[in-house]
Amino acid sequence: MIGKDSKSNGTVSLNNVSEILEGRRKERDPIYEQEIALEHSKKFALSKAQYEKLEKKLNAISGMKPSLASKILDIRPTTEMLLKQILAFDKITLEEAAIKEIIAIMKESE
């Protein structure tokens, strides 16, 4: 059963996925889904330094939760509409100023 041996139910960023799957690859051969997830994470993940820098900026914004910052960094929205869809999915509301600041941070990181 998938997830039977899970150690926690927390959020895992795209950057952490690479580290986790690389570690598992050393233990045993990955299954197809793990191989695809590893390729995806390597292709779209930010460098560790860039991720930490952006995460620090996002967490400084009022109302920002670490799990939301992680999701924003994984998706990297560059429009207000996309960011608002992410927020709506998690039933979170932020002030317009915070939304504009997040978009500015994401555009700066491109």
What digits encode the pLDDT tens for the residues 45-101? 888 899 999 999 999 998 899 999 999 999 999 999 999 999 999 899 999 999 999
- List Cα–Cα distances, 49 to 15, 45, 56, 80, in angstroms: 11, 11, 11, 25
What digits encode the pLDDT tens for the residues 22-43? 888 888 888 999 999 999 988 9
Residues 62 and 97 in one domain: yes
At 64 the three-state DSSP class reads coil
Residues 85 and 37 in one domain: no
Q: What is the pTM of this model?
A: 0.81
Residues 35 and 56 in one domain: no
What's the number of domains the chain is made of?
2
Residues 56 and 94 in one domain: yes
Query: What residues make up the domain containing 33?
Result: 14-44
Residues 52 and 104 in one domain: yes
Six-digit token string for 75: 């998706």
In the numeric block, the tokens 């041996």 are attached to: 5
Residues 38 and 62 in one domain: no
